[in-house]
Structure 1
């Protein structure tokens, strides 16, 4: 591919130093950052998502932050569309897109340029109303008649995926199974160098995560969650299922002590970091940047620029 289709991806588990390294590299590579974090997209969710502050951005343009209200149900399809516009614009201006984040699903689909079935919202509303009035089993049976292969793969209570499969059919006239088969083997849209940040010792990663949660508490995470709930964001919203927000919502409702919520956030963050590493280990061709005790920006710049020279960016 030509250089105009190449981009750099910095991925890795939570608290692995992606934000700082992305900014450091943007300075020396004439780059701009495109966030790939499924929760930093929401406005008003700053502390609990470790969203970079203006000071941390150091004047480097950051895209895909604060693009949705926390009450919205933001999807990977919408992310790919919106982030792709940002990447294309950065490339058109002769700069390097640096995709930074830990949401592997977002990264994979952005790099692939995945062709998602269109979504107008009209059929989703109709199908949600039917699910309430007729019951989900009726819709699952309807899907079985339309797309038996997909219906067989879905649990009868998997409302989200049943409605999406029916929605694709009614929006396009093509089953979601046929759509996925048609788009699965297309070549990726971007030639991406992916560098994953991690720690040599798991204990150092755990300690860093725990310190980050303690810092979030000092910065006012409890008040941030309270403000979101007071503003009318329902506790059931997708955004409020994020680590930190779900636990503190429960604590504010009196379902568990605040101290227990803090410990739960630390535990869930560590568990999430393990899942992130599992995801990235399965990524073909990924390069690794392994920290010892803590992130070392000088080492990071050196290693990533060497990878870029090898990769041809």
Structure 2
């Protein structure tokens, strides 16, 4: 079992012991591995992927299916409305609430492909200020009316250090920096410098990252996207379009959404859209793999083709107390 150490410093200060972290690029088989480990250890699975937290996009984000959800407890899947700009800080607060509520008293298995979530979990991040809705709405409106380049100019005038680290076309981060500055009166860089406490005990945690064979991964991506379409991914895109959300929201950038929307609007053929979505998925998987290769430290055990996976799983099971 896992445990939760309480420091007595208040809610959210407990550190989860004996956690398992499983990272990997999309379609690498990490969810299946997590489910196997959860069943053998009696553990619970916590989503560590930014896109799988959004509702509506069950298929396009490759969220676990009902049969998988029935085999082990799963948390933080599909719990966020796609109209919300979900952040690493918001995810970390949700994990903290799971700890406070006792949901992670059984062995937690964090699985996903979002590197910043894993970093926040293991290293901690600053506690960013809450952004009032009127402030959020104001800068979303300004972005729509004036564009990211003009907003970058405003940020350059008000917070030059942050602005110089961002491209004028990086609308999401520019708006976020302006929101934080507007709401708190402090630069987002100042908030980021105040790193919080890790939520897991690194000494007892187990770190695994899947490094799949590239050719095998490409084949899995191709077949999985075809299966998504067969199961109703187009209907998901229709439901998302019906919400009339800001196209700059993270959920609207899920791979497959823009491609399929374009085909539905007659801007391309469906075969062209499908091929573009598959290419985008392959490119995304490559970026993930590169990030994991260069950003994850030596404590991460690399699971490569040909490795004895069963021995690794048995070691995790044997470590469960």
Q: Please say whether Structure 1 and Structure 2 have the same fold, judged by a TM-score greater than 0.5.
A: yes
Number of residue pairs matched? Answer: 302
Contact 2:131 2:180 in 1 (8 A): no
Contact 1:10 1:194 in 2 (8 A): yes
RMSD of aligned residue pairs (Cα, Å): 2.8
Q: Which of 138, 160, 164 is residue 126 of structure 1 equivalent to?
A: 138
Shift in Å, 1:156 = 4.0
Contact 2:128 2:192 in 1 (8 A): no
Shift in Å, 1:120 = 2.5
Match of 1:98, SS? strand
Shift in Å, 1:204 = 1.2
Shift in Å, 1:308 = 7.7
Return the alpha-carbon distance in structure 2 between the equivalents of residues 240 and 130 of structure 1.
19
Equivalent residues in 2 for 1:36-51, closer than 5 Å: 36-51=48-63
Q: Which of 299, 303, 307 is residue 312 of structure 2 equivalent to?
A: 303
1:233–1:92 CA distance, 2 compared to 1 (3 A): closer
Match of 1:194, SS? strand
Contact 1:21 1:301 in 2 (8 A): no
Shift in Å, 1:88 = 4.8
Greater share of helix = 1
Return the alpha-carbon distance in structure 1 between the equivalents of residues 45 and 217 of structure 2.
24
For residues 221-253 of structure 1, give each alpha carbon's deviation from its aligned partner in whole angstroms, at most 9, with x where no partner exists: 122212332354565543121111221111111
Q: 1:161 is matched with which residue?
A: 173
Comparing 203-212 and 132-141, the one that deviates more: 132-141
1:16–1:136 CA distance, 2 compared to 1 (3 A): closer
Q: Which of 75, 81, 105 is residue 116 of structure 2 equivalent to?
A: 105
Return the alpha-carbon distance in structure 1 between the equivalents of residues 46 and 147 of structure 2.
41
Q: 1:189 is matched with which residue?
A: 199
Q: 2:45 is matched with which residue?
A: 33
Unpaired segments of 5 or more residues in structure 1? none
Return the alpha-carbon distance in structure 2 between the equivalents of residues 305 and 87 of structure 1.
26
Q: Which of 282, 286, 294 is residue 300 of structure 2 equivalent to?
A: 286
Comparing 241-250 and 148-157, the one that deviates more: 148-157
Q: 1:255 is matched with which residue?
A: 267
Q: TM-score scaled by structure 2?
A: 0.82
Contact 1:10 1:18 in 2 (8 A): yes
Q: 1:74 is matched with which residue?
A: 86
Contact 1:139 1:162 in 2 (8 A): yes
Return the alpha-carbon distance in structure 2 between the equivalents of residues 132 and 262 of structure 1.
29
1:220–1:194 CA distance, 2 compared to 1 (3 A): same
Match of 1:115, SS? coil
Shift in Å, 1:262 = 1.4
Comparing 245-254 and 112-121, the one that deviates more: 112-121
Are 1:226 and 2:238 matched, yes or no? yes
Comparing 229-238 and 8-17, the one that deviates more: 229-238
Contact 2:21 2:111 in 1 (8 A): yes
Contact 2:208 2:301 in 1 (8 A): yes
Q: 2:282 is matched with which residue?
A: 270
Q: 1:209 is matched with which residue?
A: 221
Contact 1:87 1:97 in 2 (8 A): no
Match of 2:110, SS? strand
Match of 1:67, SS? coil
Shift in Å, 1:68 = 1.3
Contact 1:34 1:86 in 2 (8 A): no
Return the alpha-carbon distance in structure 1 between the equivalents of residues 49 and 34 of structure 2.
14
Shift in Å, 1:76 = 2.0
Contact 2:45 2:73 in 1 (8 A): yes
Q: 1:241 is matched with which residue?
A: 253
